[in-house]
Amino acid sequence: MKKLITILLPVFLAGSAFSQQATLTADDYQKAESFLSPNTQKYVDNVAGKPTWISRERFWYRTLTAQGSEFILVNALKGTRLPAFNQAKLAQSLSAASGKSYTAFMLPFQTFTFSTDEKSVLFAAGGKQWKCDLKTYQVVEDTSAKIKTDEDSKNEMLSPDGKKSVLIKDYNLWLRDVASNQLTQLTTDGVKDFGYATDNAGWRHSDKPVLLWSPDSKKIFTYQQDERKVGDMFLVTTNVGHPKLEAWKYPLPGDSVVAMLHRVIINIETPKVVRLQIPADVHRSTMGDDISRGGVLNDASWSQDGSQLVFVSTSRDHKNEKVRMADAVSGAVKEIFEETSATQFESGQRGISWRYLSAGKEIIWYSERDNWGHLYLYDASTGKLKNQITKGEWLVTQLIKVDEKSRQIFFMANGKESGNPYFSHLYKINFDGSGLTLLTPEAGFHTISLSTSENFFIDTYSQPDVAPVTVLRNMSGKLVAELEKTDVSRLKAIGWKAPIPFSVKAKDGKTDVYGLMYTPTKLDSTKKYPLVDYIYPGPQGGSVGSWAFAASRRDNQALAELGFVVIELEGTSNPLRSKSFHDMNYGQMAENTLPDQVSGIKQLAAKHNWIDTSRVGMHGHSGGGFATACAMFTYPDFFKVGISESGNQDNRNYEDDWGERYIGLLKNNEKGVSNYELQANQLYAKNLKGKLMLAHGMMDDNVPPYNTMLVLEALEKANKDYDLIIFPNSRHGYANFGPYMMRRRWDYFVQHLLGAKPPKEYQLHNVVDSRNSVK
C-alpha cells in the first residue's frame, strides 16, 4: 500500500487532469452521471420502436420525439407513413373519460391493438382497458377485454395455431386448451430430477417447458432430462432466522455424470409419447450452454407435414455434431451426416444458422470448415454435400429468410465489405452459390426485421459514432420509405460526444483488432490521463458487444468524465471473425485477450500522449471479472487497479458446458495436474501488487460465489490486501444494488488510479425518460 502511494501520488500531482483538485465533488459525480443511459437516452429523438404487424404488409410502431411520442402506421405496399390515429383527439377524450389530463404526445400507453374491423383501438391505461372509436374518437372503458399482464402464460408454450399450450406440472407435461382452460395430462412417468422439458441444468433453471411444436400443432419435440445423479449446487439466503437453502442440479467440468436428454416426440391428439431410438444425448446445443431460446428447443426442425424431424446431437466437448432424422410415428432415427472440429463447433453467430427444407429434402448447414462461417447445401436423403453456397474471407452471421420456391437465401454477414469487420449487412444468394447481392449498402451495423409476408424488411443501420437511420425496403433491397432518422442534436447540446472507434495490432503485431475509446468531453491534451480498460474476454462475446449506435454504453463515458480515458477492445479469440481468430486461445482461457489489451493500450499511448500507461486499471463482470483478476495477477506491473465483479475465477467451479466447450474436457497430465487447474486465478493471487476489489452476489446462480471465495482465501494465505463487496441476497447482476456497485467502482478508480478523493457516499439517481413514464 505504501509503495503504491509513493509511485502514484507524484504522477497525480504532476500531470493529472485534476492536478489542482485533489477532491472530486458531488457536482463532478453528477456531471458524470449525466452520461449514463437514463440521462442520455431522453435526449435522443426519432427512434423507431419495435414494429407490430397488423397484416402481412402493414405495421405500426412508436417513435420518441422531442415533444413525446408518436404512433406511426406504415403500409409497405403503398410506401406510406402516416399517424396511426389522431393523438390529440384521443388525448382529449381519454382525459374526459378518465379524469386525468393527457396531451397528444404524452399518452399513458406504449402499445395498443386495432379492433378486428380496425374501426377502433384498444389500450390499457391507469389499470383499466379502454376503447377508442376512430371515427368519433369517443373513449369508453372496455370491460369485455382482460388486460394482459406479463404473468399471463409466461410458463407455457403456445402452439402455432394459438389454440393449445403446454406446461410443466409435477415434472410432467400437461396440455391446456386455451378456449376452455381444460387440462389434459400428456406424460405420466416424470419424476424429480427426471422430468419432461425441464430447463434447470447449470445456470438455467426456469419453469417454462423447452420444446418445439410441429407446424400443424399436433406434435411436440422435447425430452425427459435425467439429472438423478448430477451434482448439486447450494446457495443460502441471508435473513433473520434460519437461512433458506436453494439447491439445484449444476454439473461441473470433469463430472462423471452430467444432464442427459432422452429425446421424445409427443402426439398431442392421442396423447402418446414416442421415444427416439437413440441413446440419450448430452445436454448440449450447437450454439452453446443453453439448449433453448425462449423455451423453444434448439437444433431441431420439423417437416411441414409433421411426419419427420431433423435434429442435431452435440458431443460433450462440442467437437462432434450428428445430424439426424427421426420418424415421428415410430421414433426410428436415421443418421444423415456428421461434422467434427478439432476445437469447438458452432452452428452460427447470432442464432442457429442451419435449416431443414422438407419440400426439397435438403439441409442448409453452417460450418467453419474453410476457416470462415459459411453455408453449405446437403441432400437430406443421402447426407451428401451438394455444394458450398457462400465462400470467401468473410462470414455469415444470421439466416434471415430461406425461400425454397425461388431457391434463394437472405442472410446477414460480417467482413464482406471494406472497413470495420464487425459491421453487418444483409445479402441474398441462390442455393447454388450464384447471384450474391448486397441489399443494404450503407456502411454500418444493420439490423433487419421481416414483414409478416416476408416481402419487405425494416432496416436500421448505424455506427457507434453515427446515429441510426430506419428505412423500409423490398426484398430486392429497393428503398420503399424512410421511416426515421434519429436526431441527436438535443443530446449534443448537453455536451455529449460519441466514442472514438480505433484499431490497433494484436499481440502478434499483425492482426488488426478493434475497439472504442471514451475521453473526457473537455479533454486537455497537455495533461496525462489514467486509462481504464473495460473487459469482457469472451470467448463467446467481446468487450464492445454491438457495434450499433448507443447514446451510452454502460458507464464508460461517465467514468471518462471523472478524469479517465476508457477503452473497450475486442481481442483475439473472440467471435465474429475467422475460425482461426476465434480459436487463437482455444484451451487457454486464462489468456483472456490480455496480451492484446496490453499491446493495444501501449499503441494508443504512443499515438496519444495524454494517455498515462503508468496508471492503467481494468474492470469487468462475470468473464470480465475473471479477466480482471487474472490481469492483476499476471501483469502486476502494468495493471495497477482492478475491479473484479462476479468472476468465474476457476472454471472447475463454473457450469460444465461453457468450460468444456472452450477449454476441452478436463484431463490430468502425468503429474496429476488438470488442464483447468493451471488456469485458476487463485494459483496466481500471490503475485498481486496493485489495488484489487472483488465483488460477488451471494445468491449468484450463474457464477456461484465460491469462485471469488477461492481467490480471497489465496490472497489471505499470501498475506495480500484486497477490498471486497458482498451482496448478500443478490444474483449475478446485483439487481437493485447495481447503482451501488457502480458508485463504488467510480470511487475506487478515483481514489486509487486518479489519486483524488471521491465525494462521500454519492447517491446515483433513478431517472426515467418522461416520454415512457406517463401514468
Tens of pLDDT along 367-426?
999 999 999 999 999 999 999 999 999 999 999 999 999 999 999 999 999 999 999 999
Is pLDDT of 3 > 50? no
> Do residues 249 and 231 touch, judged by C-beta distance below 8 A?
yes
CB-count exposure of residue 592 (10 Å: 0-12, 13-18, 19+): buried
For the segment 333-365, what is each residue's pLDDT rounded down to a tens digit? Answer: 999 999 999 999 999 999 999 999 999 999 999
Q: How far is CA 179 from CA 176, 578, 646, in A?
A: 9, 50, 45
In this prediction, residue 509 carries a pLDDT of: 96
- What is the spatial distance between Cα 67 and Cα 523, in angstroms, rounded to a whole number? 33
147 falls in which pLDDT band (50, 70, 90)?
Answer: low
| Residue closest to 297 by CA, chosen among 166, 449, 176 | 166
22 falls in which pLDDT band (50, 70, 90)?
Answer: confident
Residue 672 neighbours by CB under 8 Å, 6+ apart: none
Q: What percent of the chain has pLDDT over 70?
A: 96
12 falls in which pLDDT band (50, 70, 90)?
Answer: very low
Q: Residues 625-641: what's their mean pLDDT?
A: 98
- What is the spatial distance between Cα 229 and Cα 265, in angstroms, rounded to a whole number? 25
- What is the spatial distance between Cα 608 and Cα 615, in angstroms, rounded to a whole number? 15
In this prediction, residue 313 carries a pLDDT of: 98
Is pLDDT of 7 > 70? no
Beta bridge partners of 260: 226, 282
For the segment 692-713, what is each residue's pLDDT rounded down to a tens digit? Answer: 999 999 999 999 999 999 999 9
> CB count, 10 Å around CB of 472?
23
For the segment 93-103, what is each residue's pLDDT rounded down to a tens digit? Answer: 999 999 999 99
* Of 11-15, 158-162, 383-387, 674-678, minimum mean pLDDT range: 11-15
For the segment 470-513, what is each residue's pLDDT rounded down to a tens digit? Answer: 999 999 999 999 999 999 999 999 999 999 999 999 999 999 99
146 falls in which pLDDT band (50, 70, 90)?
Answer: low
| Residue closest to 513 by CA, chosen among 565, 576, 560 | 576
Q: And the C-alpha cell for 115?
A: 379492433
In this prediction, residue 700 carries a pLDDT of: 97
Average pLDDT, the chain: 94
Beta strands, E only, 16-171: 47-48, 52-53, 58-64, 69-75, 80-83, 113-114, 120-125, 128-133, 139-141, 156-158, 164-169
In this prediction, residue 144 carries a pLDDT of: 80
In this prediction, residue 149 carries a pLDDT of: 52
- What is the spatial distance between Cα 460 and Cα 548, in angstroms, rounded to a whole number? 9
Q: Provide Rg for the chain, Cα atoms.
A: 28
- What is the spatial distance between Cα 284 and Cα 263, in angstroms, rounded to a whole number? 13
| Residue with grid cell 427512434, as numbered in its chain | 47
In this prediction, residue 106 carries a pLDDT of: 97
According to DSSP, residue 103 is labeled: B
Q: Supply φ then ψ for residue 641, to 5 degrees.
A: -140, 135
Is pLDDT of 153 > 70? no
For the segment 288-344, what is each residue's pLDDT rounded down to a tens digit? Answer: 878 888 789 999 999 999 999 999 999 999 999 999 999 999 999 999 999 999 999
Is pLDDT of 649 > 90? yes
19 falls in which pLDDT band (50, 70, 90)?
Answer: very low
- What is the spatial distance between Cα 60 and Cα 83, in angstroms, rounded to a whole number? 9
> Do residues 761 and 27 touch, judged by C-beta distance below 8 A?
no
| Residue with grid cell 417447458, as numbered in its chain | 209
- Range with top average pLDDT, 193-207, 291-305, 673-687: 673-687
| Residue with grid cell 489471505, as numbered in its chain | 716
145 falls in which pLDDT band (50, 70, 90)?
Answer: low
> Do residues 431 and 442 touch, judged by C-beta distance below 8 A?
no
| Residue closest to 292 by CA, chosen among 191, 217, 366, 222 | 222
Is pLDDT of 657 > 80? yes
Is pLDDT of 5 > 70? no
